[in-house]
Structure 1
Amino acid sequence: MSDRDPLEQLARLGSGGPVTPLPPAEVRRLGDRRRARRTAVTGVAGAVAVLAVVIPASLYAARDDGATPEPPSSSDTATTSIPPKDRIPAGFPLGLGAHDYGSDGHTEGPGRDVSGTTPTPCNADPLASRTATDRLAFASLAVELEDYRHLSLYADEKDARSVMKAAADAVAACPTEPFDAMTMMWTSRAADTGYESLTFSQGYRDAIGGTTFQLTRVGRAVLMVAFSGEGVAEPATLTPITKQIAPHMCVFTPEGCGPDASSTPTATTPADCTTADLDATVKPLDSAAGSTYAEVRFTNTSSHDCAIHGSSTLRAVTSDGLAIAGNTTTSNEFVLAPDGVATALVRDTNPDNFPAADCMPANVSAWRITVPGSGETIDVDPTGYSTACTKIGNVSIDPWKPDQGDAAAARRAAEAAAASARAAADAAAADASAQASP
C-alpha cells in the first residue's frame, strides 16, 4: 500500500488537482538534479568563458611585508577584458526586492560567478541562443527555495529580441517532456510588467516542485527572474521584482537613463507591510475531512498604507524552538489601508490521521508566518491548535487576501456618518440663527 497520504497532498497543495507527492528522499534527489543542471554564469567575449572569481579589494592593495604578491589569475581579469560598452556596469542593483529567508537562507552575488536555474525547455537554452557580452547573477536561497535573477547583455537589440523570440518558441514547442519517470510541463503564464516580457513555468504532472520564469527585455539586455520551490509560484511573485529592476536597465538603451530614473519608491507607491505595521489574531473555524481550519487576520495598525505582494510561508514552531518546514504560497497584490485587514486561511490536518512514527507530534507554541513583500516573519498564537507533526508538516497556509468586510470599511463608514452628523448639526444651527435674526 502506498505511503503517500492524500491528506498531506491537500495540506500542501490546497485546492489544486490530485497529485502524488514524492518521498523526501526523492524530493532531495530531484533538488540535487536541478542544482546539478544549473548553468554557471560566465562573462564571455569571443573566447573560452572562464569563471570570474570575486577577490576582495584588500588583496590587490600594495603589501609592505616584503612578500611578492601573486599575479592575478586569468579569471581575475576576465571582466576587465570586456570593452566598457559591452560590460554590465558595477553596482547594478540585481538584488532589489530579494526574498529574505532569515536564518534559514543566504544570498549570493550579484556576481559573475553566481550559478542558478535557467530555462531549458526540451534541452533548448534560449538565453544562450545568442552570445552574451557579459552576464551577472544574484540568488537568495533557502531549503528547497530559490529566488534567482540573471542579467544577460548582448551586442545589440537585435540579438536581445532574438533571445526573447527563442524563449517564446521553445516554450510553445515543448508543452511536455519526459524527466526520469515523470512528465515535466512547460506552461505560458499571463503577466503585465510594462515591458517586453515573457512569463512561463516549469512543473511536473505527477509531483510537487517547479520554477516560474519571467524574461524581460530592455534595450540590448534581457533580465530573467525565477522562483523555485515546492509549488509553482504565481507571476505575482515575480512581477514586482521585475518592475523594481527593469527601470535600471535603461543604461542598455540608446537613450540611456534620464534624470527621472530613480531606485526609490514614488509617493504613490506604498512601502511593503512589515511586522511593525501588523497585528495578527487567529479566528477558529469549523473542522472538516480530518482537518481543522482557522482564519489568521492581519490588521494594519499603522497610520499609513502598506503593500502586500509575493510569497508567504507558514511554519509551526514547537515549544523547544524547532521551526517545522511548512508550505509557501503566493498572495494577491493589494494595498492595506490603516485599520485594513488581510486574511489567510490556515489548514491544520489532524496529527492523529498519521502513524505516530511518521508524524512525531510535538507541542506548538506559535505559527511563524512570512509577511508577503517584506519577507519579515510574525509569530501568531495558535490557541486551540497545539500539536503538529515534526516530520510531515501538517499545517499549511492559503494566499493572503483583503478582507472585504474589514475594519477600514467600518472606519470609513463611521467617518462618513460623523461627517453627515456634523453637517446636519451645522445646518440646524444655521437655521436657528436665521430664525432668531430680526
Structure 2
Amino acid sequence: MPEQTPLDLFDPGAVEVTPLPAAEVRRRGDRRRRRRAAAVSLGAAAAVAVVAVAGTGLVDQGRRSAPPAGSPSSPPQSADEWRTDIPSGFPLERGLRAPEGDPISGPGARARGIAPLDICEDDGNGPAQWPGDYVERLAASASGPELLDARELVTFPDDRAATAVLATIRDRVARCGDGDTRWTVHESSGVGDESLTLSRTFELGLGGDVYQLTRVGNAILAVDLGGEWDLGSTVPAGIEDASATSADLVTAMCVFAVEGCDGGPEEPSELPAGLPIGAGMSDPRVFPGRALLAEELELCGERPLSAVDAVDARSARLAGGETSETRTVLLFSEESVADDAQAALVSSAQRCPRGDVPGSEVEVLPGTDGWPGRTIRTTYAGEPPTAMLVHVVRVGPALLLSESYAGAGPDAVTDTRDLIEPQLAALEELRD
C-alpha cells in the first residue's frame, strides 16, 4: 500500500492571519472544576441529544451567515444567546511548534487544519462532513516530514448542532467495515462537556492520525496529530499528547459554555498553611512568600517567570553534597494564568535547545503513565554526564516547580518526579 501522509489532504489555498496577543484572553480562562460541573449538569441533556440525532446525517458543509432560531437547550438558552463568534486572540496556536523552524499555518479562518475525516468513504455513504453546517472556524497547524500537529475551533448555532456532529461521526465509525484503513474509537478524554477520540491507522504499514474532538457548549475543538502511528503500540502515546493539548486549550473555551467564564467559587488567595513544601528533603530551608525558581530560573538568557503575577508563593531549598534541590509553588488568581505561566516556561525551553553552557542540551519531556506535568532536562557533557531537571506541574490555579541537579542516569527523571508527590497531593485541595 502506498505510503499516506496527512499533508497530501490539505487545501493549499491557506491564508495566514496574525492573532492579537494571547494576553487579551488570559483572564477568560475557565476554572477546571467549573468545567467538570458543567459536564455533569449537561450530561443528561447531551445524551438525549445524541439519541435524537444519531440516525441523521450532517447537513451540507458550509458556513452559516447567522444562527437560526431553534429550540432552547438544557439549561434553557435560546439559539440567539449562544456565542458563535470566536474571540480575537484565542490561543489556538499555544504550544504549536513546527519542526526545524518550518512556518506555522494560521491561526486563521482559512488556515490549514485537521486532515479530512473521510470515515469509511468506500461504504457508499460518502465522507463524513466536518465541520458541517458551522458558523465560524479558526485553524492552525504545524507540519513536517511524517508529522502533523493541527487544531481547529469551530462554532455551531447551538449545543445541539455541535452534539449532532460528534454523534454522526461516532455513528459512522461504528458502521465501518473491514478494510485497509482502520478507524477506532478510544476512551473519552473526560475533558469539556463531551469528547470523542479516534484513530485512523492502516493494516499495512505505519501512518494515519489521532483525532480528539472536544465540545464545550456550542463549540468543538478538533486536534489532529498525524504521524507514523501503529494501533497496537504507538497510538496510546498519541492519545495522551492529544488529550494534553485539548485540556490546555479547553480552558479558553469557557466563552462558549452555558455558565460562561464568570461566577462560581473564587480561587483561594493563599496557599494551604500546612503545604509540605520541604517533604522528602533532609533539613530543608523554607522561604514563605518567596518564589525562588521564578526569580532565578534562566534559559538562554531568559527568565520566563520573573514577571509572573502570583498571589502567593512558597519555596524550599536543599543544597549540599552531590545533589541540589529547590522547589517553588506559585498560586495564581485563576487557572488560566497558571496555564500561561507554564506555557511560557515550556516555550522558553523549546527556544533554547543548546542551553547556556557549551556542550549542554535542553529538551522538554512530556508526562508519562498519567503523570500530569512536563520536565525540562538540561544535560551537561562530562564523565559522567550530569543533568538539571526542572519539573513543571499545574494543579488547579497553582504551579509547582521542582529543580534537581543530579546524575543523568535513566532513572533520574522518574526518581525526582516521585519526590514531589507529597506536594502534588497537598495541592489537590485547591481544586475543591
Q: TM-score, normalised by structure 2?
A: 0.48
Larger radius of gyration: 1
Name the one with the larger strand percent: 1
| Higher relative contact order (CA closer than 8 Å, sequence separation 6+) | 2
